[in-house]
Structure 1
């Protein structure tokens, strides 16, 4: 049996693409490439940040039994740990936001729905990053004039004030 021109299979991607699967091509594809690269690099950095965070909180000292207000207060009294936790917060939020943005782009078919879902995502991300940053840098465990009942004993870092 011989093959005729009618029964040949067209090469992939030579047919017409359904319009609902096409996006506005006026945007540069460079952003998506940079977003993809950010996901890979931030993922590697996050693994290091998370495992050091978990090790320092759970394995050093009293372990999970030592985690309390005083532990966090002592940790954040050191600028190194403030910036470590800040980097963890920012990278985790931006990494997660970029992932959810990709999911929204993949599954939201209507442009209006896609736009508003991303606006809600960006607003939530901004609020969490701003509030988290404020908490890390304005956290004050040694309240001036307090009766001292917030902590069981006065930590060493409060005595120098």
Structure 2
């Protein structure tokens, strides 16, 4: 009947279909072997090391992530607190050594300026002479002093502010 419509012998059709069935059987066997290997690997994967299950590992890792998130939040709070405290700490320093009196040598006198972030602080001026050492403190507010500054004190202030 096939010979009438297609002009092909039925023997060729049967041989072709048999070849197709044989090829399908070979592919089926290959897929079954691959599936068995995949199942074996899946069981090994799910068992984990030392009979520890994958679920236990995931739960442990999620707990670690939660701990890290909490530690990070704590670190951020601590950093914010440190930055708030640093605003009031002395961050800027200026130091000028000089000879207060001509008869003295070695530049034993000095002006030391300590300022915070907002340029508030003080200048310590220590003048060394043969009779002794005299120390003065002048308050600095917004980078300025109410009391007039000596040249060395002004230099120390400018160093601290960053002008020199």
Q: How high is the TM-score relative to the length of structure 1?
A: 0.24
Higher strand fraction (1 or 2): 2
Structure number with the bigger relative contact order (C-alpha 8 A, sep ≥ 6) is 1
Q: How high is the TM-score relative to the length of structure 2?
A: 0.24
Structure with greater Cα Rg: 2
